[in-house]
Chains A and B, each alone.
Chain A
């Protein structure tokens, strides 16, 4: 039986290796182009190379869900980046569609753009599975498909993301260090989680738990689900404080502005906190760190879309690319915050501060996008 499946596998790979049945990227050996921007995920990451195509290129962004600040900022960033002088000449046509959380519609939109002869398609997958068919079609037509943020459970396409496990680990480590400095080596930690069933939430949470366990301290981690949303985060934090009284520290995956607001409203003492990169949260850190709200802010940046577009263009030019691109975590601690640089006290709470990646030449700042009208950025 095993021999049979091996033989089928060998036969299938033989078929796949002939150019007639399947085009698409070739697996090559590294290193890839521009490693400062396109960093390989780890030592085992494969490298891919597409046949070089003539520019300028037609590029589409197929978004799923739309309706929260992060996604809107992402779409505006994508549009602004497509007009950036460094890539403008390389893009012949640029389209953005949002399909909602509807897997067939998203798959259909991707397939439609392949049919229309687009060269690259950037997408935030609505589900980590189910893209086999469009991957096969994209390979057949040599279209570069780049999922980012919510990536796919496959190594057959080039993907762009931040390391969620590392993010969770750094959050937890910051809290552990801050607490150790106060002489605290055990106690209750409040963890505000994200959307249930999502791989990002799962990876971040597992890393937080692992880091606290590794200290050997007597920690009790209380989990609540905040859905990465300010309102929900505030409510569940208030509930948790009402039930548990006091926490030694807080680790929030998102909706951090609301979480801190709940601490303030409940008269909870200011404790070390780890959170996302919302402008409101960074304002709170800047104002309240003297009272003990010592925090770290690490963001999943909407600017990932710009790096994905840049990676797609690079792949179309025939460069060697890592299959999984790790974008460095944008980290800021309470003592590094500077008004007008990495947070903006005169701007609203609900946009994501980190949008720039200097090693990649992505220099579109969040407030520039969110505070200006559409006409100004494009």
Chain B
């Protein structure tokens, strides 16, 4: 027990940004629910989760290149491309739907893999290479879906954008009113999707040699290379995983809107917001510190801030200003550790 507590204390000291973000999120989400007329209800939780899935996945996608000290400007575009592919393929028989999902995720992953190859073997800066490949992804998305539309299975849309109760009810898996099911029936399916992907994909990955190499590259690439770490493999894997997360976001976006839309402005907004979410979640833009779970929290903070505009009466034309100020304050909170630095050289680390 004691050792558990002390290891938690160590973890908190080492991941101050992450725990700060977690605390901030809990606080603002709690107040939001208190202020909301139907706060703490499944309906509100479902709505909040739905709205957050796409940005959460895109933020997780952005994290991995940032951990290496790079930026991926193609995440929003890859999400859009994936949603356009899904809007064509995810319909028909259950088998066809599953096939469509696999193809969607595989295309996004392949796109990320290509990003990695270009950056490693083309020896290009990630920010420039992904700016170009992002434009390619948008072009492909527009080619697949020149105007918005699509034909996503309606049941799938309803089942995945609701609570577990509706999921079970839609597909008639078993009696959704069964007594044993009640304690978890209220959980939003989109929330579960995020948790499962994060736990099954990210957490095992960061423990592998490749995963640890990504952190090492961000901390100090030269020493990482001298230590014999698989630099190239890690870089390619990082961008591949980034593509996978972005396509998860795109797939969900397509299912949620039951359509695809090659919206360039939206893709750009998601890319920028993903960077904000990564920083909010305690990941350093210099690389080496942070993680995808932190970005998950950061993306949720971004979303919850905008939730407030719907329950408070703030002049609509001032809302962007207020949002900007709150964001700035939140990011500054993360940087408060700077005040405690004893040796100014630490700032350059």
Contacts and interface: CB of A to CB of B under 8 A. Distances in A.
Interface of A: 60-61, 63, 65-66, 72, 75-76, 79, 95-105, 107-109, 111-113, 115-117, 126-133, 136, 153, 197, 199, 202, 374
A316 B338 CA distance: 56
B148 A102 contact: no
Given A104-B257, A115-B38, A153-B149, 9 more contacts: A66-B317, A97-B309, A102-B269, A107-B256, A116-B38, A116-B310, A127-B261, A130-B148, A132-B258
A132 B154 contact: yes
A111 B50 contact: yes
B110 to A, nearest CB: 25
Q: Top 8 A-B pairs ranked by shortest CB distance?
A: A130-B257, A108-B51, A129-B259, A96-B316, A101-B265, A111-B47, A127-B261, A130-B259
A246 to B, nearest CB: 33
B157 interface: yes
A105 B257 CA distance: 11
A104 B57 CA distance: 13
Contact of A117 (B37, B256, B265): B37
Given A72-B317, A108-B47, A132-B154, A127 B259 contact: yes
A129 B146 contact: no
Interface string B308-323: 0111010111011000
28 contacts: A61-B316, A65-B265, A66-B317, A95-B310, A96-B316, A97-B310, A98-B320, A102-B270, A104-B51, A104-B55, A104-B253, A104-B256, A107-B50, A108-B47, A111-B50, A112-B47, A112-B310, A115-B36, A115-B47, A117-B37, A126-B266, A128-B148, A129-B261, A131-B257, A132-B154, A133-B158, A197-B147, A199-B147
Q: Counting chain A CB atoms within 10 Å of each CB, which of B50, B154, B306, B315 scores highest?
A: B306
A72 B315 CA distance: 12
A130 B266 CA distance: 15
B17 interface: no
B38 A99 contact: no
Contacts of B253: 103-104
Contacts of A79: 316
B266 A129 contact: no
A186 to B, nearest CB: 31
A297 B158 CA distance: 45
**For chain B, what secondary structure do more than half of its interface residues adopt (helix, strand, loop), or is it mixed?**
helix
B77 to A, nearest CB: 14
Contacts of A60: 310
A5 to B, nearest CB: 13
A107 B269 contact: no
Contacts of B259: 127, 129-130
Contact of B258 (A75, A97, A130, A197): A130
Contacts of A103: 253, 256-257, 261, 263, 266
B109 interface: no
Contacts of B275: none
Nearest to A78: B316
B148 A127 contact: yes
Contacts of B288: none
Interface in B151-178: 154, 157-158, 161
Contacts of A129: 148-150, 257-259, 261
Contacts of A116: 36-38, 310-311
A102 B41 CA distance: 25
A115 B154 contact: no
A100 B265 CA distance: 9
A107 B148 CA distance: 16
B82 interface: no
Nearest to B87: A129
A374 B52 CA distance: 33
A103 B157 CA distance: 15
B213 to A, nearest CB: 34
A104 B51 CA distance: 5
A127 B256 contact: no
B269 A101 contact: yes
B310 A109 contact: yes
Given A99-B306, A109-B310, A129-B258, A104 B265 contact: no
B73 interface: no
Nearest to B261: A127
Contact of A126 (B53, B258, B263, B307): B263
